Amino acid sequence: ENKVLYAAVVNDLHRAAGRSGVGAVMGSKNLKAIAVRGTKGVGNIRDPKAFMKVTFEKKKILADNAVTGQGLPAYGTQVLMNVINEMGALPTRNHRDVQFEGAKDISAEAMVTPRESDGKKHLVTNQACFGCTIACGRISRMDEGHFTVQNKPQYWGANGGLEYEAAWALGAANGVNDLEALQYANLLCNEEGFDPISFGATVGAVMELYEMGVLTQEQLGIDAKFGSAQALAHFAEITAKGEGFGVEIGQGSKRLTAKYGHPDLSMSVKGQEFPAYDGRSIQGIGLAYATSNRGACHLRGYTIASEVLGIPVKTDPLEHEGKPELVKAFQDATAAFDSSGLCVFTTFAWGVADLAPQLQAACNDEYTTEELEKIGERIWNMEREFNNAAGFTKADDSLPKRLLTEAAKTGPSKGKVSMLPEMLPKYYAARGWDSEGRPTAETKARLSL
């Protein structure tokens, strides 16, 4: 209703289809909600006994895995905060830096440590989506005396807690290390239905423009230096309400920075703001951002699994050779998993070979590992064809100037920039696309497109 372009579709109270502004599309059509009621149960399982047998076997793999059986249930995605910071890949202050001195204050470990103010833990418990055995979600309770909520009892109960991406975007991206302020801004994003990643990254651009003197305190309504928890909370409130400068923040960083004459300060691809990994320090994810069909996104090809966690094999995050092939493999496999309806987090423990027998038992078509890999590749190419028809070109497969020309200042990646110019032509070749990023006739014929 307030025309925030990165509005989300929220479900199950504090879960969301959070990126790309799908909520804005609903809002523009005056569509408030979609409700579905089923009365017939789940039917038409091809082989129920085989399905129960194979899913039982695969759930055991999830339970025995260090990430899906231990790390995510215990700490959630926030387990990554200190890990990514220590390896010098945590984008900080609108990507000016790659390490945040306050990371430990907003980490998973901080969420389970009793607060000095009231002796209570920020984290109450974990939570699962329906039927999930991983339960990576967080339920948190704020400090009732914190400046953001001390007169707002509606926020004193247990609520959806911080995920890694939101904690990064609201925190490190803006230099804010106040865990309670991050939780408050996150609650507003959930309650009002807008993406905390794009919101936080846009605030990072605003704070940089403010420190440059391009934006003033009179315009913003507050002193908005990097690190200001007060400014973060203020911006969350006025963006949710569509008031004052919040209207500008609601347009996203691409439009905002262009309006004020500094488009290079938008840390985005195809208009969508980056997630929580720096493409200079983790080369594969930078290529994945640049080539993602829906703009900068980690969930369409999470090479962090390989480059950081060593799943299914460990690759050097600072090395760019071999990353085009790695990115393609992750993108195709992820497209197959997404189309099955399964959570992408299962891929920390499962490969396509684990997905195939489950689909084979459930569905009437024949599914093999090879066919699923082809399905994923076909999906990716169909999306690419759609984008090309909509006017996207090779020029859109790029990264902000900062990542291509300003080297990382600290950590293991010190002195590194993204090697995208070297990787992109090899990526196109691996995909079977021409030099302009268009699927060739041979590729389309092979994929029956």
Residue 128 to residue 17: CA distance in whole angstroms: 16
Mean pLDDT of 292-307: 96
Q: What is the pLDDT of residues 351-368, one digit of tens each?
A: 999 999 999 999 988 899
Q: What's the domain range around 247?
A: 77-266
Residue 427 to residue 409: CA distance in whole angstroms: 28
Residue 88 to residue 100: CA distance in whole angstroms: 9
State whether 185 and 317 are in the same domain: no
pLDDT given at position 160:
92
Radius of gyration of the chain (CA): 22
pLDDT given at position 42:
74
Q: Please give the share of the chain, as a percent, with pLDDT higher than 90.
A: 94
Q: Are 69 and 63 in contact (CB under 8 A)?
A: yes
Among 143, 221, 134, 222, CA closest to 184: 143
State whether 247 and 108 are in the same domain: yes
Encoded amino acid at 14, one letter: H
344 within some domain:
yes
State whether 292 and 261 are in the same domain: no
**What's the structural domain count of the chain?**
2
Q: Quick check: 75 pLDDT over 90?
A: yes
184 within some domain:
yes
**Which residues, listed in sequence order, are joined to residue 420 by a DSSP beta bridge?**
none
Among 111, 213, 125, 215, CA closest to 167: 111
* Crossing angle of the two packed helices 352-362 and 369-389, in degrees rounded to 10: 100
Among 328, 299, 288, CA closest to 432: 328
State whether 156 and 130 are in the same domain: yes
How would you classify the pairing of strands 272-273 and 268-269?
antiparallel
Q: Are 387 and 293 in contact (CB under 8 A)?
A: yes
State whether 262 and 291 are in the same domain: no
pLDDT given at position 1:
85
46 within some domain:
no
pLDDT given at position 364:
84
Structure tokens at 210: 């403010």
Tokens 């014929």 found at: 445
425 within some domain:
yes
Q: What is the pLDDT of residues 122-169, one digit of tens each?
A: 999 999 998 899 999 999 999 999 999 999 999 999 999 999 999 999
Structure tokens at 67: 């990430």
What's CA 229's distance to the chain center, in Å?
A: 22
Residue 280 to residue 98: CA distance in whole angstroms: 9
Residue 268 is inside which H or E element, if any? strand 268-269
The region that residue 444 occupies, defined by phi over 0 for left and psi between -120 and 50 for alpha, beta otherwise, is alpha
pLDDT given at position 348:
96
- CB atoms under 10 Å from CB of 213, counted, come to 7
State whether 203 and 243 are in the same domain: yes
State whether 133 and 228 are in the same domain: yes
Q: Quick check: 299 pLDDT over 90?
A: yes
Residue 325 belongs to domain with CATH number: 1.10.599.10
Q: What is the pLDDT of residues 161-218, one digit of tens each?
A: 999 999 999 999 999 999 999 999 999 999 999 999 999 999 999 999 999 999 999 9
State whether 262 and 336 are in the same domain: no
Indicate the DSSP class of residue 115: P
399 within some domain:
yes
Tokens 């920039």 found at: 417
41 within some domain:
no
Residue 25 to residue 333: CA distance in whole angstroms: 28
Residue 89 belongs to domain with CATH number: 1.10.569.10
Cis amide bond preceding 312, omega within 30? yes
Looking at the chain, the number of H-run helices and the number of E-run strands are 20, 7
Residue 447 to residue 449: CA distance in whole angstroms: 6
pLDDT given at position 211:
98
State whether 352 and 258 are in the same domain: no
pLDDT given at position 276:
98
Structure tokens at 382: 């169909």
State whether 317 and 369 are in the same domain: yes
Q: What is the pLDDT of residues 11-62, one digit of tens each?
A: 888 789 999 999 999 999 999 999 988 898 877 899 999 999 999 999 999 9
What size, in residues, is the chain? 449
Q: Are 20 and 300 in contact (CB under 8 A)?
A: no
- Backbone angles phi and psi of 97, in degrees to 5: -130, 165
Residue 235 to residue 237: CA distance in whole angstroms: 5
pLDDT given at position 12:
81
When pLDDT is cut at 50, 70 and 90, the band that residue 298 belongs to is very high
312 within some domain:
yes
Among 197, 134, 131, 192, CA closest to 162: 197
Domain stop point among 241, 266, 291? 266
**pTM as predicted:** 0.96
Q: Are 216 and 206 in contact (CB under 8 A)?
A: no
Q: What is the pLDDT of residues 131-141, one digit of tens each?
A: 899 999 999 99
Q: Please give the share of the chain, as a percent, with pLDDT higher than 70.
A: 100
pLDDT given at position 44:
84
Mean pLDDT of 365-393: 96
pLDDT given at position 15:
86
Tokens 């209703």 found at: 1
Domain stop point among 234, 266, 298? 266
Q: What is the pLDDT of residues 213-272, one digit of tens each?
A: 999 999 999 999 999 999 999 999 999 999 999 999 999 999 999 999 999 999 999 999
169 within some domain:
yes
Distances in Å between the alpha carbon of 126 and those of 249, 364, 399? 31, 36, 35
Handedness of CA 250, 252, 255, 257 (dihedral sign): positive
How confident is the prediction for the chain on average, in pLDDT?
96
State whether 306 and 441 are in the same domain: yes
Domain stop point among 209, 241, 266? 266
Residues whose CB is less than 8 angstroms from the CB of residue 309 and which lie 6 or more positions away in sequence, other chains included:
67, 348
pLDDT given at position 440:
98
State whether 337 and 230 are in the same domain: no
